[in-house]
Amino acid sequence: MTAEFESMVGLLLVILTITCIVQAVFVGVLLWYVKRLTEFLAGARAGVAPPPAPAAPAVPAAKPPAPAPVPPAPKLLAEEVKTSAPAPVAAMVAPAAPAVDLIGGSPDIQGSILRLCEKHGLSDFIIATMDGLLVVSLSPGSSEEAARFSDLYRRKKKPDTPGVTFIEMSHMGEAMLGIARSDRPLSPDQQRGIGEDARKILNWWL
């Protein structure tokens, strides 16, 4: 009985010793874990701020494109300047015919026609009917010219002689043709003035 009791006591002591050792190890591990957890929480509370991110490098602003060079204006040649220059007014406007008395002092209708030629710078002036009959002229033998030019006018043809201009007029309701000879072209205003003067002469003498 005593031997069994001693064996049981010895077993209990062994179990108690092992239990104490296990508890000591467990407590040591628990303390170590608590310490590590405390240090970790302390470091998290400190919250060391991370270093600021490096600033992005400044991008240089793009330079605006340079304006395209404007080509210089072309120089006008002397001929172009002369051509583009406006013509003088005196060169464009025909000189006005001088005031001449066509009727007073003239001995006959031929005298009035002579003054008309002097006034308008004509070398000759023939008046004929549309049928080709000669009415008045300064040059003898103008009947053939009166007939030929009247025929050209009736057929709407231009004069076949240089320096000749046809001027239509009327006298006492009858159409007549004035045939003017000149060394220079006659403007419409000059032709109109010659026709008016010729009608005055016909109304006075015929």
What does the buried/exposed string (b/e) look like for 43-68 if buried means 16 or more CB atoms within 10 Å of the residue's CB?
Answer: eeeeeeeeeeeeeeeeeeeeeeeeee
Q: Percentages helix, strand, coil for the chain, rounded to the nearest 5?
A: 50, 10, 40
pLDDT in tens, 176-192: 999 999 999 999 999 99
Average pLDDT over residues 31-38: 83
- 82 pLDDT higher than 50: no
What is the model's pLDDT at position 203? Answer: 95
Q: What CATH number does the domain located at 102-205 have?
A: 3.30.450.30
Average pLDDT over residues 43-60: 57
Distance separating alpha carbons of residues 28 and 130, to the nearest angstrom? 153
Closest by alpha carbon to 129, among 173, 181, 66? 173
- 39 pLDDT higher than 60: yes
Q: Which helix (H) or strand (E) holds 134?
A: strand 134-136
What is the model's pLDDT at position 176? Answer: 95
Report whether 138 contacts 117 (CB < 8 A).
Answer: yes
Distance separating alpha carbons of residues 47 and 153, to the nearest angstrom? 121
What separation in angstroms does the CA of 45 have from each of 40, 49, 51?
9, 11, 17
Q: At 131, is the pLDDT very low, low, confident or very high (cuts 50, 70, 90)?
A: very high
pLDDT in tens, 98-130: 778 899 888 999 999 999 999 999 999 999 999
Q: Looking at 43-47, 64-68, 137-141, which range is the least confident one?
A: 64-68
126 is written with which tokens?
A: 């023939």
Q: At 30, is the pLDDT very low, low, confident or very high (cuts 50, 70, 90)?
A: confident
* Chain-centroid distance, C-alpha 138: 58
Average pLDDT over residues 58-74: 57
Q: At 54, is the pLDDT very low, low, confident or very high (cuts 50, 70, 90)?
A: low
Rounded to 10 deg, the angle between the 188-205 and 109-120 helix axes is 160
Q: Looking at 5-14, 16-25, 59-68, which range is the least confident one?
A: 59-68
What is the model's pLDDT at position 181? Answer: 95
Distance separating alpha carbons of residues 192 and 143, to the nearest angstrom? 24
pTM: 0.53
Q: Looking at 80-89, 154-163, 177-186, which range is the least confident one?
A: 80-89
